[in-house]
Amino acid sequence: MPPLQATGRLPLIGFYSLYFGAVGIVLPFLPAYLESLALSVTQIGLLLSLSPLLALVAPHLWGHLADRTGRPHRVLAVLAVGACAGFSPLLFVDRFPALVVTFAAYAFFASSITPLVDSLALQHVAHTGGSYAHLRLFGSLGFVLSSSLFGLAVDSVGRATVLAPLVLLAALALWSLTLRDGHAPPRTEDVHPLAGFQLLAHRDLRWLLAGTALHWIACAPYHGTFSIFVVSLGLPPSVTGVSAALGVTAELAVMLLYPRVAERIAPRHLLALSFAVSALRWGGLSVASSPSVIAALSLLHGMTFGAFYVASIAFVARRVPPHLRASGQGLFAAVTFGLGGLVGYATAGAGYDWLGGHRLFAVAAVLELLAAALVLRISPEKPPSPA
């Protein structure tokens, strides 16, 4: 049987661009669309919390399947098709119980896409060279293009908020067929079903996950209520789109520059810096009301997500054995985006109803400082032994 063709840069670039293009519409605009269906902010928070709830389990299951079979590209194709199918009912459902089922179905697949494609990208870089950050930045580019174009194209949220990302998800499902994995033969040895969770025995990995989960909790008021916050200030939807576009543009810049500084700054120090800058960002939003100030603060997103994400991926890649790469990325996704997102989204909606947007962002700023303190507990990385 001839060997499989290895996944090259173009299939990965296309996958990142299409997937995060869909996320670029869903993340900033879907909460406002759900509010237009007469749902309360608390109900919206509960719906958004379904994705991190499923992320507690799904990435581990799919990551284990990818490691066990040695065919992460096939597992990723299943996830892309499943995400498209799970999202499609949003075109016609508008009642809360039906929305719960739809969001859960979508999240079961979509919550595992990022760790699996990251695993493929890391595998590609390990065998061909280059930079993971330079592959991942195409996801950020897809995000910024879709969010800015959509925000400028619509005057108000409506069914287009569902239709546009659905088209991108359908294209993603087709594009996933171009993914290949020829760098290693299928695994013949068993990978323990709990291999991902067994990685928690490592002290430094526990400190990392505690800090990144707390950071993601602090980000939940932005991810879950920002578009609602903008509308409450009497500002148009374009502020949401432009802010998201500026933020991801800054994220792109960070990812472009990261390979130049990767060997000069340890991941734990970059994480602490990104969390401190995020505290400044949320503190600014706690007093901001003008569109220009809100847009300017969004430029700090380069640290809030860009630096945070590449530093976390670099840390996991260095500390997790290569044969457990997908399981390690799944564990990071489960704890950070699963547990952190679940707590964050579940409390952000209720917190917004109780405190209002400004005071909720002030609480987020305090949480970021705590997250920075946690990652500084990580032990310094040992230099490689001389040959």
pLDDT band per the 50, 70, 90 thresholds, residue 3 = very low
Instruction: Please determine, for residue 250, whether its predicted confidence score (pLDDT) is greater than 80.
Output: yes
Confidence (pLDDT) at 225? 81
Confidence (pLDDT) at 124? 83
pLDDT band per the 50, 70, 90 thresholds, residue 283 = very high
Confidence (pLDDT) at 286? 94
CATH number corresponding to 9-181+200-375:
1.20.1250.20
Range among 92-101, 196-205, 232-241 rated most confident: 92-101
Gap between the Cα atoms of 24 and 16, Å rounded: 12
- Which residue has better confidence, 187 or 135? 135
Digit-coded pLDDT (tens) for 136-161: 889 888 987 887 788 778 777 788 89
Q: The pTM is what? A: 0.75
The 8 Å CB, 24+ separation contacts for 193-199 are: 193/64, 195/64, 195/67, 195/324, 195/327, 196/60, 196/63, 196/64, 196/324, 196/327, 196/328, 196/330, 196/331, 196/334, 197/60, 197/331, 199/320, 199/324, 199/327, 199/328, 199/331
Gap between the Cα atoms of 278 and 338, Å rounded: 20
pLDDT band per the 50, 70, 90 thresholds, residue 197 = low
Instruction: Please determine, for residue 100, whether its predicted confidence score (pLDDT) is greater than 90.
Output: yes
Task: Report the candidate in 131, 56, 3, 79 with the shortest Cα–Cα distance to residue 342.
Answer: 56
Work out the average pLDDT over 91-107: 93
pLDDT band per the 50, 70, 90 thresholds, residue 58 = confident
Q: What share of the chain is helix, strand, coil (3-state, %, to 5)?
A: 80, 0, 20
Length of the chain: 387
Confidence (pLDDT) at 304? 95
Digit-coded pLDDT (tens) for 304-344: 999 999 999 888 887 777 666 667 777 888 889 888 988 88
Q: What is the DSSP letter of 156?
A: S
Confidence (pLDDT) at 194? 54
Instruction: Please determine, for residue 42, whether its predicted confidence score (pLDDT) is greater than 50.
Output: yes
Confidence (pLDDT) at 242? 82
Work out the average pLDDT over 205-234: 89
Instruction: Please determine, for residue 182, whether its predicted confidence score (pLDDT) is greater than 70.
Output: no
Instruction: Please determine, for residue 241, whether its predicted confidence score (pLDDT) is greater than 60.
Output: yes
**How many CB atoms within 10 Å of residue 383?**
6
Percent of the chain with pLDDT over 70: 89
What mean pLDDT, rounded, does the chain reach? Answer: 84
Confidence (pLDDT) at 102? 95
Gap between the Cα atoms of 295 and 312, Å rounded: 26
Confidence (pLDDT) at 121? 87
Q: Which amino acid is at 35?
A: E
Q: Phi and psi (nearest 5°) for 191?
A: -105, 125
